[in-house]
Amino acid sequence: MRGSCKDLRGSASRDPAGPPYLCLTPAALGPGVTSDKKEYPMRYRTLGPSGLLVSELCLGTMTFGGSGGMWGQIGQLQQDEADALVKAAVDAGINFIDTANVYAGGESERILGQSIRNLGIPRDDLVIATKVLGVMGEGPNARGASRAHIMAEAKASLARLQMDHIDLYQIHGFDPLTPITETLEALDTLVRQGHVRYIGLSNWAAWQIVKAVGIAEARKLAPILSLQAYYTLVGRDLEREIVPMLQSEGIGLMVWSPLAGGFLSGKYSDGTSSNEGRRASFDFPPVDLERGDAAIAVMREIAAAKGCTVAQVALAWLLHQPVVTSVIVGAKRIDQLQDNIRSTEVTLDAEDLAALDAVTRLPAEYPGWMLERQSQYRASHLPQKG
């Protein structure tokens, strides 16, 4: 599943250890939205153990809809604004869009589905991902990963999206009450019925994912293709257990909040929180300010040398990580989205990556340091990379 690939123009992959990819122009996606905008070097990678190609950037739709509470703070984009963002994303070659049933109480799915219709984008030109787990009603079964909730919410999501199938259906978190087997069998039913093409997980621990993979294999259920998780330069906890597991199992990684809730946007520095931006009202995910400020200082130097932004450095770092399949980027304005898309043009050399790693590297933790020590006994016999 991993391997060295070349894009269609013959240039070597900047990430030869990562998932196979193709590099296409937006026009090559099909007869969808056309554009005279600049062609970004968008790459397409296979999602986990499948032949499904998804763009290395995925449009996030958490900003679609919402009029109050958390969703009002995050988004409030209405139909015409969402249409413009979807068009800008497709113009740039993005074919992957992520949403969830809980985003703005279902409004995000509804607005996204209508945007695709308004813009006349052929359904098969896009890979639509949504999620299920959160509270969608008053009853005790209107939440979780039970068969009852999954089947009901899949039907509801399809209605809101105005679609006959979901390309990637993800369990939005771990449900400690429902047996994993019940969850996986419900997802397999949806795949066999044609309502869902592929399945994924989000915010699961490594042991939970491996257990699910084993159950799916033993029972010959639909395989798990992907994990959606938080991963940034200032949030590298994933590297302790989850990244090695994903690489071992060949599971794809979709990254949410790649700018750490705006912390890596370049708006914040020296332990201060701005009165502008999302973190002013929704300070999430948590960030160690001391380590974060040190990281931003190095990122500013790299950005200045390359003529790009701090945010583009943050996104480019993720795109250089072999485990990453697609990075989810959301926005409220077209210029924000286009700035994020330009991260695909930023190349970080070995010196840049080493500097970023040095300032953000996690401290050694057991059993990691012991595993590394003992693995040296036979390291000389391991196959050489490259």
Confidence of residue 381 (pLDDT cuts 50, 70, 90): confident
Mean pLDDT of the chain: 88
% of the chain at pLDDT higher than 90: 74
Q: What is the pLDDT of residue 19?
A: 54
Q: What is the pLDDT of residue 39?
A: 57
For the record, the structure tokens of 238 come out as 């994933």
Q: What is the pLDDT of residue 384?
A: 79
Confidence of residue 3 (pLDDT cuts 50, 70, 90): very low
Q: Can you give the pTM of this predicted structure? A: 0.87
Question: Could you tell me which of 248, 230, 186, 319 has the C-alpha nearest to residue 49?
Answer: 248
Average pLDDT over residues 240-268: 94
- Asked if residues 320 and 348 have their Cβ atoms less than 8 Å apart, the reply is yes
Q: What is the pLDDT of residue 345?
A: 96
Q: What is the pLDDT of residue 71?
A: 62
Helix ranges restricted to H, 121-179: 147-161
Strand 252-256 to strand 57-60: parallel, antiparallel, or no bridges (unpaired)? unpaired
Q: What is the pLDDT of residue 288?
A: 85
Q: How many CA atoms lie within 13 A of 61 on its CB side?
A: 38
Identify which has the larger pLDDT, 44 or 28. Answer: 44
* Residues annotated catalytic, as ranges: 103
Domains annotated on the chain, with CATH: 55-381 (3.20.20.100)
Q: What is the pLDDT of residue 359?
A: 96
pLDDT for 5 beyond 80: no
pLDDT for 101 beyond 70: yes
Say if residue 285 is preceded by a cis peptide, omega within 30 of 0.
yes
Distance of CA 359 to the CA centre of its chain: 24
pLDDT for 33 beyond 70: no
Residue 370, CA distances (Å) to 242, 363, 367, 382 in order: 17, 13, 5, 18
Residue pLDDT, tens place only, 74-92: 778 999 999 999 999 999 9
**C-alpha–C-alpha distance, residues 79 and 304, integer Å:** 37
Confidence of residue 227 (pLDDT cuts 50, 70, 90): very high
Average pLDDT over residues 10-32: 45
Q: What is the pLDDT of residue 22?
A: 60
Confidence of residue 209 (pLDDT cuts 50, 70, 90): very high
Average pLDDT over residues 82-111: 97
Confidence of residue 268 (pLDDT cuts 50, 70, 90): low
Q: What is the pLDDT of residue 72?
A: 60
Residue pLDDT, tens place only, 298-340: 999 999 999 999 999 999 999 999 999 999 999 999 999 999 9
SS3 322: coil
pLDDT for 190 beyond 60: yes
Residue pLDDT, tens place only, 109-161: 999 999 999 999 999 999 999 999 999 999 999 999 999 999 999 999 999 99
Residue pLDDT, tens place only, 362-373: 999 999 899 889
Average pLDDT over residues 44-52: 97
Average pLDDT over residues 269-280: 51
Write the burial class of residue 34 (CB in 10 Å: 0-12 exposed, 13-18 middle, 19+ buried).
exposed
Q: Where are the beta strands (DSSP E) in the chain?
A: 21-23, 43-46, 53-55, 57-60, 96-98, 127-132, 166-171, 196-202, 224-230, 252-256, 324-329
